Structure 1
Amino acid sequence: MIDFSKTTLEIIQMGEGLTVEFKRTIDSPFKIAKTLASFANTSGGILLVGVNDSRETVGIVSELRELQKLEQACESLIEMELRIRCKSVSFGSKKILRIEVDESQDKPHYAINEKGDRIIYVRIKDKSVPTNRLMLPGEGDAVTEKLLLSKPVKILLQYLKRNDALTDKELSNMINVSEKRAMRLLHELESKGVVLRRGSGKTALYSLKLVN
């Protein structure tokens, strides 16, 4: 989960990732709606407008124009209603916008695209990607629900909300079980549509699944 107490300079030095994104400018309210909704649907995040992909502070030309596009995104292009925090930050003669989004308790939030389609986006690494739906509490079968409530799985899910992926060895160390048991647990969660496996063997990585 993003630490909102970090300074804007610290956020820039962190670089883009699961909870941080940079934009030179808000070129489209539709694109910014996608980013904001994906933060809310995942682990929250900070969007800095006026910073390029190389972490260079380029500044914004018109704060008013940026805020107008941001307002359009929040008021017309995101469902359910999404509240954000926005402030202007000065770096010498340049100004950037810092936009903070909490992980939402009302997820999923839909972003509306140029065609009028309502799409759920989530964060994977430093990208906002579409999915059909999210795995929400109370939606799985009884066995899956019981599994999700177990302590090892709660620890795993909290970790994957803050980090992109982990291996079975990392999970075994985290919950203090053998690698074999950790692998069985991950395979069970994979079969239930909770996690997604990338790769195979000991180098396989597991991340939160986008449930179809």
Structure 2
Amino acid sequence: MNSENIEEDFIERTLKSQEDTRLEFKQKITSKRKIAKTIAAMANALGGTILIGISDQKRVVGIDPEEERYMVESANAAYCVPPAQLTTEEIRWEDPNPSPYEEVEKLILKVNITKSKEGPISYLSTDGSLKKYKREGDQSKLIV
């Protein structure tokens, strides 16, 4: 089985899953601050995976992976203190039922976030303060 098939199998299995402590679906990144908060919260819990290009309704919509990678990496650098350890990879996925106006092949960005071993990662909030969040279920909860 080649790596492309392995990744397609991973997406098929994941589409049957619910968002939880270690899994988040994003259609696209609309806010660097919001994605940074999710990254920090996952790193402060068990680590996790964010799949960009999949809606909350679990529909693969596809994305421009370079644009989304830039958003993730720049958000991590700007708003996570210290930045979380993460890797990104592009996944090609063939839609078995594309609508007439959609491409058959879609791209998804898989963001793998490592659990922080150096202590909690802070999130730089809009008021300039550093706050710590931890992923609980499918939410980022403030650590008091």
Task: State the TM-score, normalized to the length of structure 2.
Answer: 0.81
Distance 1:116 1:9, change over 3 A: farther
In 1: Cα distance, 2:24 partner to 2:70 partner: 19
1:113 maps onto 2:125 in alignment: yes
Counterpart pick for 1:63 among 62, 65, 76 = 65
1:45 maps onto 2:48 in alignment: yes
CA contact (8 A) 2:37 2:133 kept: yes
What displacement does 1:104 show? Answer: 1.3
What displacement does 1:59 show? Answer: 1.0
Counterpart pick for 2:79 among 77, 100, 107 = 77
1:94 aligned partner: 106
1:20 aligned partner: 23
What displacement does 1:49 show? Answer: 0.5
CA-based RMSD of the aligned residues comes to 1.7
In 2: Cα distance, 1:34 partner to 1:9 partner: 27
SS across alignment from 2:16: helix
Q: Which has the higher contact order (CA 8 A, sep 6+)?
A: 2
What is the count of residue pairs matched by the alignment?
Answer: 127
In 1: Cα distance, 2:67 partner to 2:129 partner: 25
Indicate the larger mover: 110-119 or 39-48.
Answer: 110-119
Larger radius of gyration: 1
2:115 aligned partner: 103
SS across alignment from 1:14: coil
In 2: Cα distance, 1:8 partner to 1:118 partner: 34
**Matched residues, percent identical?**
28
Q: Per-residue displacement from partner, 1:37-70 (whole Å, max 9, x unpaired)?
A: 111101111100011111111111x222212211
What displacement does 1:9 show? Answer: 2.7
Q: Whose strand fraction is larger, Structure 1's or Structure 2's?
A: 2
Task: State the TM-score, normalized to the length of structure 1.
Answer: 0.56
